[in-house]
């Protein structure tokens, strides 16, 4: 089966020498990436889930930059839709990430054999695990041919425990990673619901003119308050649903079924409510998330059907 969205990724020059690779429709395993060019080369921000998608991104970038060498790259977090294409970067590329992100990618089992949670099953193609060479516990500044790029950590778990955003203060362009999902259900099962909520004010304080979200269309500065406001309402909804469920002795799946989705019912990947509730329950209990139980409940919420993805074929 051909990938129905394989040809729709597009490279946008959002500022002089600043590029966003946007892949509709932004659902499971379909993410955005980007790059910044300077006089001495290119800095890449995230790769893609599969070999063919990453190659299309890197080929488009090479055409746009006249073949400028990729000197360095950063992963905004460990999830495979942002990291599995790392091995297709040039061998000499210095790869950067948060230390927690590196540790999680080292033990990620999905790249070695995708569990049957999605349909069709993603086929990664010839990618291999490649983790950062250089890690940070907080913020890091990169100077690239006269450009000033800041890699910033929110200071607490949010989407994951090792999130980084890439911020160009001169151009006021923010690559937000999965701290921003534009037009689809946010996912925080690997991080913190409360931390994701707190990260929104941190993002807003940067006052970006343009945001490249981890998933979904580009966000203008004028539209950012609406997008962050939607995120805030959703995270509060998750926290309120978890509190009510725990009060009434319900598990995450039962709490999700009782609550419904309200204004968020139209967002793709709605089953993430169950995964996010599992994270909220785990946080309240001070325990590790049971990933198998969380995905089992998400599949049950989805009527026993696998979760939909538009990444299927390696070629």
Q: Can you tell me the mean pLDDT for 110-132?
A: 89
At residue 311 the predicted structure's pLDDT band, cuts being 50, 70 and 90, is confident
What CATH number should be reported for the domain holding residue 94? 3.60.15.10
pLDDT of residue 118: 93
Tens digit of each residue's pLDDT (9 = 90 or more) over 268-304? 999 999 999 999 999 999 999 999 999 999 999 999 9
Q: Domain range for residue 231?
A: 10-308
Tens digit of each residue's pLDDT (9 = 90 or more) over 162-185? 999 999 999 999 999 999 999 999
Mean pLDDT across the chain, nearest whole number?
Answer: 95
pLDDT of residue 313: 53
pLDDT of residue 61: 98
Dihedral angle, C-alpha 204, 200, 105, 267, nearest 10 ° = -110
pLDDT of residue 2: 42
Domain contains 314: no
Residue 314, preceding peptide bond in cis (omega within 30° of 0): no
At residue 188 the predicted structure's pLDDT band, cuts being 50, 70 and 90, is very high
- Specify the number of domains making up the chain: 1
pLDDT of residue 211: 98
Using the predicted structure, report yes or no on whether residue 1 has a pLDDT greater than 70: no
Using the predicted structure, report yes or no on whether residue 53 has a pLDDT greater than 70: yes
pLDDT of residue 312: 66
Using the predicted structure, report yes or no on whether residue 249 has a pLDDT greater than 80: yes
Which of residues 280 and 109 earns the better pLDDT score? 280
Which of 88, 10, 12 shows the shortest CA–CA distance to 46? 88
In our burial notation (b when 16+ CB lie closer than 10 A, e otherwise), range 189-203 reads: bbbbbbbbbbbbebb
Proportion of the chain above pLDDT 70, given as a percent: 97
User: How far, in Å, are 41, 71, 168, 289 from residue 144 at the CA level?
Assistant: 7, 9, 11, 39
At residue 315 the predicted structure's pLDDT band, cuts being 50, 70 and 90, is very low
Domain contains 155: yes
Beta strands in 90-249 (DSSP E): 94-98, 118-119, 134-136, 140-144, 147-152, 165-168, 173-181, 210-215, 219-220
Domain contains 301: yes
For residues 242 and 192, the answer to whether their CB atoms sit within 8 Å is no
Domain contains 2: no
pLDDT of residue 145: 86
- The pTM is what? 0.96
Q: Can you tell me the mean pLDDT for 120-144?
A: 94
Domain contains 5: no
pLDDT of residue 112: 84
Domain contains 248: yes
Using the predicted structure, report yes or no on whether residue 256 has a pLDDT greater than 60: yes
């Amino acid at each position: 089966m051909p990938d129905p969205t394989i040809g729709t990724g597009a490279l946008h020059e959002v500022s002089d020498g600043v590029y966003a690779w946007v892949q509709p429709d932004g659902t499971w395993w379909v993410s955005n990436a980007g790059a910044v060019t300077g006089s001495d080369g290119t800095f890449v921000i995230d790769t893609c889930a599969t070999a063919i998608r990453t190659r299309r991104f890197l080929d488009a970038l090479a055409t746009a930059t006249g073949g400028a060498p990729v000197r360095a790259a950063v992963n905004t977090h460990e999830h495979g839709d942002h990291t599995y294409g790392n091995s297709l970067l040039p061998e000499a590329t210095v790869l950067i990430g948060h230390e927690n992100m590196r540790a999680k990618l080292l033990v990620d089992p999905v790249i070695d054999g995708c569990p049957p949670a999605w349909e069709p099953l993603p086929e990664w193609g010839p990618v291999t695990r490649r983790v950062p060479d250089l890690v940070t516990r907080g913020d890091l500044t990169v100077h690239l041919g006269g450009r000033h790029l800041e890699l910033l950590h929110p200071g607490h778990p949010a989407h994951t425990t090792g999130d980084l955003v890439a911020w160009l203060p001169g151009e006021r362009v923010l690559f937000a990673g999965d701290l921003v999902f534009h037009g689809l259900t946010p996912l925080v099962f690997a991080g913190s619901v409360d931390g994701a909520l707190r990260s929104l004010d941190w993002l807003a304080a940067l006052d970006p003119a343009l945001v490249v979200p981890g998933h979904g269309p580009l966000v203008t500065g004028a539209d950012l308050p609406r997008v962050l406001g939607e995120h805030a309402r959703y995270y509060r909804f998750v926290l309120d649903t978890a509190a009510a469920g725990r009060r009434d002795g319900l598990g995450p799946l039962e709490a999700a079924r009782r609550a419904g989705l309200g204004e968020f019912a139209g967002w793709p990947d709605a089953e993430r409510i169950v995964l996010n509730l599992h994270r909220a329950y785990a946080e309240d209990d001070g325990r590790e998330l049971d990933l198998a139980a969380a995905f089992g409940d998400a599949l049950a919420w989805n009527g026993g059907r696998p979760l939909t993805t538009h990444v299927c074929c390696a070629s």
